[in-house]
Structure 1
């Protein structure tokens, strides 16, 4: 199985380990699974686990002006399932719904503070949230999402690269990437199906800095043999004959050059060795 096929099993293992050892998946560069392993199982580039869990805010527009009551309930349920799924994977995801019944909650400042304090802001993108971002929504609806969108715009003006890292878009359910505003095209979006845990993988890898493909270490630059001296014929099959290398001294010189190259290599080149064998055979034929 490849990495994609084993993702569900990996999440199941994460939950089992969390039950036995309540360590959490935390900030960027954190391995997806925390467990006790032998030294032979520990990757050489394993990052040290931060003490504070990765903090994420889910920003969303509660309703559209033409939505039915059932549409509002279905959308709220979907966004809540997404947020809850993140928390089950060790991401400290927060959403305004968790605070809707808090006594003394200050909704005029909740969005601003939550955006600033979060490591990442995940926008559940819809046409309605896009309207809050662009300021084209009705002034009588969507104040909470509009405040969060305005705060994000302020962060963009202050530091573009910081917001580029902080803000991610998620496309949930039957929503479409087509609703992403043109001026948000620079931000990465993720298509998420809350009923399919595999669809969370790319988002989790991005949030926790765990690339699917790790850049390998640099190897040594190969030492390539020189071209045959001018005046010699180089055949496509690179099989030398007496006629191909008629100059006895030139053959000896090329042999000496290739032997020096082989000695300098940590691992001798098979291609160069084959070339040496051909040249030695030619030299032997010339000597007879």
Structure 2
């Protein structure tokens, strides 16, 4: 079984699981399935989503159909890649939409489709290419790519109204061999994902982001531990240290106190922490006086 057949088999398996979830658990959370390829085997894992069954995530896939210098073959291959990406998302419980699904509708209004879809979607995934970047930057041919231009303008309008909202809504997707170099400078703030349409493993980061399923859960905040001081309180300030040094200036007095304290400690069943700290400080003072 080659990679394409493996991919299609995984999609079918995921779709079957999704259908079973809808039939058996109408009132529970939607299950999103992530298929992983382990050598020649596709392993399907199902994760719960924090979304009601009647409200799957709505996603618009925005893309530029072709670049000015593309051949007909390049255009067709890119269309196939974008369609496979969108289909894979739908197989995993994401209500992904794209203009290709509406291309043969008699009542399609392309002057409004893109803007309406951008406003109504939970997320907009831009299949970023140099061609789409030209639409965003307004340097494309005026006779080419009107649909992507409408969607790009709608996204810019959303940015003006609410910057944080668009930051959450807009994600960039690099399909196949597309490079981050095609991302315009003023879109560098948006998160991008590298996805191989034939490899389900590469969808994981995108799915986790869309569905709010972090790879690492933040643990509950614990309590700050209470740590004992390293020396007695009056040795913490310089002025105190000076006073104590004057008090213990006599070498013999220091040594005598150490011996007295050590003797007292030896007689105790449980040595006193404060006394032991005092002994350690006095030893340090004694050592300094010796030098």
Same fold (TM over 0.5): yes
Higher strand share: 2
Deviation at 1:18, TM superposition (A): 2.2
Q: What SS class does the counterpart of residue 61 from structure 2 fall into?
A: strand
Q: Which residue of 2 aligns with 1:20?
A: 20
Higher helix share: 2
Q: Is the 8 A contact 1:111 1:147 kept in 2?
A: yes
Instruction: State the aligned residue count.
Output: 231
Give the superposed CA RMSD: 3.8
Q: What SS class does the counterpart of residue 222 from structure 2 fall into?
A: coil
C-alpha distance in structure 1 between counterparts of 2:87 and 2:259, whole Å: 78
Q: Is the 8 A contact 1:30 1:208 kept in 2?
A: no
Q: Is the 8 A contact 2:65 2:145 kept in 1?
A: yes
For 2:191, which of 169, 172, 188 is the aligned residue?
Answer: 188
Deviation at 1:211, TM superposition (A): 0.6
- Are residues 48 and 62 of structure 1, via their aligned partners in 2, closer, same or farther at CA, if it must alter by over 3 Å? closer
Q: Which residue of 2 aligns with 1:208?
A: 211
Q: Which residue of 1 aligns with 2:37?
A: none
Q: What SS class does the counterpart of residue 22 from structure 2 fall into?
A: coil
Q: Does 1:108 align with 2:121?
A: no
Deviation string 1:166-218 (CA, Å, 9 cap, x unpaired) is 10000011111100000000000000001110000000000001110110001
- Are residues 256 and 32 of structure 1, via their aligned partners in 2, closer, same or farther at CA, if it must alter by over 3 Å? farther
Deviation at 1:51, TM superposition (A): 2.9
Deviation at 1:13, TM superposition (A): 7.7
Deviation at 1:33, TM superposition (A): 5.5
Where does the alignment leave 5 or more consecutive residues of structure 2 unmatched? 1-9, 35-46, 236-240, 242-254, 281-291
Q: Does 1:255 align with 2:272?
A: yes
Q: Does 1:156 align with 2:159?
A: yes
- Rg: which structure is higher? 2
C-alpha distance in structure 2 between counterparts of 1:31 and 1:228, whole Å: 58
TM normalised by structure 1 equals 0.70
Deviation at 1:255, TM superposition (A): 2.8
- Are residues 66 and 223 of structure 1, via their aligned partners in 2, closer, same or farther at CA, if it must alter by over 3 Å? same
Deviation at 1:104, TM superposition (A): 1.2
TM normalised by structure 2 equals 0.69
Where does the alignment leave 5 or more consecutive residues of structure 1 unmatched? 1-9, 35-42, 232-241, 259-274, 280-288
Deviation at 1:246, TM superposition (A): 4.8
Q: Which residue of 2 aligns with 1:121?
A: 124
- Are residues 135 and 220 of structure 1, via their aligned partners in 2, closer, same or farther at CA, if it must alter by over 3 Å? same
Q: Which residue of 2 aligns with 1:53?
A: 56
Q: What SS class does the counterpart of residue 112 from structure 2 fall into?
A: helix
C-alpha distance in structure 1 between counterparts of 2:127 and 2:81, whole Å: 10
Deviation string 1:64-91 (CA, Å, 9 cap, x unpaired) is 1111000000000000000000000000
